[in-house]
Amino acid sequence: MGDGALCGARAVCGARVNVRAVRTPGPGDLEHAWRAVSAVLPPTPVVASGLAPGALLKLETFQPTGSFKVRGALAALAALPDGGPAVTASAGNHGLGMGFAASRARRGAGVEVTVVVPTGASQAKLDGIGAFPVRLVRHGTTYEEAEAHAMGLPGTYVSPYNDPAVIAGQGTIGRELDGQADGPLTVVAPVGGGGLVAGLCLWAGLRGGVRVVGVESARSRGVSASVAAGRVVEVPVGDTIADGLAGNLEAGSVTPGMLAGTARLTSVTDAEIRAALRRLFREHGLVAEGSGAAGVAAVLAGKVEAEGRLAVIVSGRNITASAYARALSGG
């Protein structure tokens, strides 16, 4: 599983362990996150798109790590107790974001960050994470095993999605949209663990006039299942080109509750995602990863009913050359 959802609240054998107490973020968290993120990152651009009249693409692919995840990482490290180490589990964009945030920390010698990755993680993303000043630990063959190990290490555990500062950090995309897109909006974004869409819901509740649509992989619908059940539930997870959206949720995650009654959820197939990757390349010359193109895929497949102007978040570009070539060729 990628950074969408890491289910480490269960032991590898499936037995339950203690559920972490995680606070639901509020407006104050969004304000703190905005100060941390805007001090380091310029707003990512928006470009006009032919997806719908007046439609916009919000290009998180322009982030220094190639993904929106750097926002939550910056907010999370800014919220750490002074001098406290941080630990996380990731094999992709969240790890890259935490590495970048660690490199920008300005408290003394910086913040000590440990990133735990499974042994089968993408080497391209591991090379990127390893280029930053982090302690990289390989553990387990699955993401669940990596996260379970990370949670047992010393330091403050920073979830890729189930963390108030991370959620608020992702919500800073909305703060940028305040100055980039006037009037009523329908904002479309990918859903793995729900941190991005939860952050957008937090912002939307403050702005008003915003409809949020979250897009899951059809092969991993843990968030929508948990919203429907009113509690975190496990679902079958299949292989998908949108690896950042694949996996079950941490037990007790706050994200389904933040989405319930606020965001509309839908899903897309791998074939629809590949069509979106090709559309982004042909129309804009943009490279996106599978999870990053999920919002565009949903719009192209007619699964989004827009109210007001459409704004689609292209959330990341970190895909291997071979996988991208297969997607463009229709494979």
Cα angle value 26/161/321 (rounded, 5°): 140
- Which range (96-110, 167-181, 237-251, 285-299) has the least confidence? 96-110
DSSP code, position 42: P
User: Rg of the chain's alpha carbons, rounded to an integer?
Assistant: 18
- Which of 277, 268, 290, 289 lies closest to 219, judged by CA? 268
The string of pLDDT tens digits covering residues 149-182 is 999 999 999 999 999 999 999 999 999 999 999 9
Q: Which of 49, 58, 67, 69 is catalytic?
A: 69
Q: Residue ranges of the alpha helices (H) in the chain?
A: 27-38, 69-78, 93-104, 123-130, 143-151, 164-170, 172-178, 195-207, 222-229, 255-259, 270-284, 294-300, 321-328
Coil, strand or helix at 135: strand
Coil, strand or helix at 3: coil
Coil, strand or helix at 22: coil
The stretch 296-316 carries a mean pLDDT of 97
Q: Which of 217, 220, 226, 315 is catalytic?
A: 315
Q: Could you tell me the sign of the dihedral formed by the alpha carbons of 113, 119, 122, 126, in that order?
A: positive
pTM, to two decimals: 0.92
Give dist(CA 291, CA 215) in Å, integer: 9
Give dist(CA 293, CA 94) in Å, integer: 17
Beta-carbon-side half-sphere exposure of residue 117 (alpha carbons within 13 Å): 26
Amino acid at 126: L
315 catalytic residue (yes or no): yes
Cα angle value 164/186/221 (rounded, 5°): 60
**C-beta separation of 115 from 96 below 8 A:** no
In the predicted model, is pLDDT for residue 4 greater than 70? no
Q: Band of the pLDDT at 15, cuts 50, 70, 90?
A: very low
125 catalytic residue (yes or no): no
In the chain the domains, ranked by start, together with CATH numbers, are 27-68+165-328 (3.40.50.1100), 71-160 (3.40.50.1100)
**C-beta separation of 34 from 121 below 8 A:** no
Q: Band of the pLDDT at 210, cuts 50, 70, 90?
A: very high
Which residues neighbour 271 within 8 Å (Cβ) at sequence distance 6 or greater? none
pLDDT above 90: percentage of residues in the chain: 75
